[in-house]
Structure 1
Amino acid sequence: MSSGGRGRSISVKDKWKKTKWLLSDRVLRNYVPETKPFTSLSLKRMIGRYKMVYFKPTTGSGGNGIARIVRASSRKFQVRKDRNTYAATSASLFGRLKAIARGRRYLLQKGIYLKACRGRPFDLRMTMQKTAKGRWVPTVMFVKLGKPGKVVTNYHQGGKLALVDGTLRRAGYTQARTNGYKRLMKMLGMRTARCFDRRSKRFYELGLDIALDRSGRLWILEVNTRPNFTALKSLADKSLYRTIVRYGRQYGRTR
């Protein structure tokens, strides 16, 4: 763990460490897609179990370094990273992924088939922040609409931010269903915040990346301890950005 100074929220970059924290919670573990450290054995298990698997660096942000593995047939796979697609066999897949990893530690995560809105797959962000009195509050939630063809939905990878209500309405959900999802996201946010609080009281902000799959189920893809604020400026509705900055000022973060 590293600290940016007094009053600043500490940051944990290790995605595997944060995943293990979530898995230790009896409620949250039901919302975490199966995730394993990358080894030849875990690769064999994951590609045997799932048609799509994500290959993610243990540290890193902005969707950088992530690849997607899709089974094309019983022994053939497609690996997509950035704009490149590689063909691999069961025998060559491990070597192909090791070449992508270049010695860095990676995770394998069950691939979630994201719900789409007008052809753009999306996931959701739930931001948790602490008040000056140290109480966790669910402050803002929004949608990250992926750029068609991209492996991830991140803003810095060509994604676009949008509001939750309008996006879910356009994706075919009623307002009642949308409200149910928002309540569930807040519950997951509060539960995650308390889970992280048990590890350190020096977390003041968290950003949960939450997937909504095509069957309507929510999944926690990962938790960011240094969530991006500036992308919210891209929304026409500036109230979300103002809210997140107002809370951020209480623990020394202004942008």
Structure 2
Amino acid sequence: MRKMPRMQSVPSKLKKTAVLWENDRIRPYIPESQAYSRKEVINMLQRHGFVFLKPDIGGGGKGVVKLTPAKRGVICQTLNGRRELPVQRAFKWIEQEIISGRNYMAQQGIQMAKVDERNVDFRVHLQKPQNDWLITGFCAKLAPPGGLVTNHCRGGTPLDASEVIKRISHSVGKKEKTLKKEIYAVSKEIAKTLNKRFTGLKELGIDLTVDENGKIWIFEVNTAPVIKMFECLKDKTAYQQINQIRYQMSAES
């Protein structure tokens, strides 16, 4: 693996989301995201049906909780299982056992498009070796059966993005080329927008999904993205290209 070039890292999800929210071209792609509070979570559950809680700083799906209303309270699903608790007991458990004093965010749940009845999302990898942002990697991530997240380190399966888009395009009501073009366009707009505020950025990994109606949603933007998923694809072209540009940027820094 090539050495990562020296570049700026912006770990806070809420901070990056706030910057992107200022751009009216990106705003329609951003799920509702709020700093964690009991009141915000209850309101979001009423508006969206289910909500994800995520650490403001962190990755790999660690610490993620899915909350879904139930007859007797709320179902709390984590990487380790699920439990149904009365609402106030659920909040107490989350705050003591999961959040434990850390900054957390609540994010609108999205009904993701599926492949073989499993959730699927995408990673767009961008690099800036010179003056322009280049899309150097694009892959899909298929959640394990019943899985909470699609992360490769949590059992997700990396797949060729073009093949997945081809499979889901008809069911979500958008043409394959239209969907891919829109994903690329919003990804580049995100890179340029963040780079205006954080001028040291050189590499980004954007996690996004397409919902059951063909709408694109941006889940997260990683400023120090791992690329193991690209190494696991049958076609290693993207992995090799990303590493080649990393080597070029680290030699120049």
Aligned runs of 1:165-184 on 2, under 5 Å? Answer: 165-171=162-168, 173=170, 177-184=175-182
Higher relative contact order (CA 8 A, sep 6+): 2
Q: CA deviation at 1:115?
A: 0.7
- 1:67-146 to 2 correspondences below 5 Å: 67-73=65-71, 76-99=73-96, 100-131=98-129, 133-146=130-143
Deviation at 1:145, TM superposition (A): 0.7
**Displacement of 1:134:** 2.4
Please report the TM-score for the alignment, with normalisation by the length of structure 2: 0.91
- Aligned mates of 2:43, 2:17 — CA distance in 1: 19
Partner residue, 1:250: 248
Amino acid at match of 1:199: R
Q: Which residue of 2 aligns with 1:35?
A: 33
- Contact 1:33/1:220 (<8 A) preserved: yes
| 2:84 maps to amino acid | A
Q: 2:170 is paired with a residue of what secondary structure? A: coil
1:232 aligns with 230
CA drift of 1:184 comes to 0.8
Structure 2 unaligned residues grouped into runs of 5+: none
Which residue number corresponds to residue 150 of structure 2? 153
Query: What is the Cα deviation at residue 43 of structure 1?
Result: 1.7
- For 1:203, the equivalent position in structure 2 comes to 201
Q: Distance in 2 between matches of 1:148 and 1:83?
A: 14
In angstroms, what is the RMSD of aligned CA positions? 1.8
One-letter code of the match for 2:232? S
Number of the residue aligned with 1:3: none
Do the aligned partners of 2:31 and 2:219 also contact (CA within 8 Å) in 1?
yes
* % identical equivalent positions: 29
| In structure 2, distance between residues paired with 1:86 and 1:7 | 43
Q: Please say if residues 207 and 226 of structure 1, whose CA atoms lie closer than 8 Å, have aligned partners that are also in contact.
A: yes
Matched residue type, 1:36: Q
- TM-score, structure 1 length as denominator? 0.91
SS at match of 2:17: helix
- In structure 2, the partner of 1:164 is 161
Structure 1 runs of 4+ aligned residues shifted over 6 Å read none
Q: Distance in 2 between matches of 1:118 and 1:90?
A: 33
Tell me the matched-pair count: 245
CA contact (8 A) 2:165 2:180 kept: no
